[in-house]
Amino acid sequence: MIDPLSALKSLNRPTLLVTAARLAQAGYRRETELPRLLNTPNAPGRNQCILKLMELESELNRQRRAKDPAYGPARHVKVLSALMHEAQHPRAPKRRQLKASATSDFLRAI
């Protein structure tokens, strides 16, 4: 089985592309970007997400190298940014849900 993080470290891309992806990380929002990039309703688990993003990035890199007119550098930057974020930041912990009850609302009102 392929370890996604070690495979990610072996990527070799142009400096300008990587720099743009690093700068794009500041505006990256997992909840909105991943479903759009992967064309899925919900974001998959971290390792599966990295593997899917790597497949997508590999195809974009193939298009770039072949000078394919369908290649979009902005999309490539978004995919690389998502890959970097997923590799650096483990999935955010779920927020603790407060238990709602009639008494808690009553006590807050007092």
Cα-trace Rg, the chain: 19
- Is residue 107, in this structure, part of any structural domain at all? no
- What is the rounded CA–CA span in Å between residue 61 and residue 17? 11
Query: Across all residues in the chain, what is the average pLDDT?
Result: 81
- Is residue 14, in this structure, part of any structural domain at all? yes
- Is residue 89, in this structure, part of any structural domain at all? yes
Q: What is the pLDDT of residues 35-79, one digit of tens each?
A: 999 998 887 888 888 889 999 999 999 999 999 999 999 999 999
Looking at the 3D structure of the chain, how many domains does it have?
1
31 is in which domain, residue-wise? 4-94
First to last CA, the chain: 58
Which of the two residues, 9 and 24, has the higher pLDDT score? Answer: 24
Kindly report the pTM of this predicted structure: 0.74
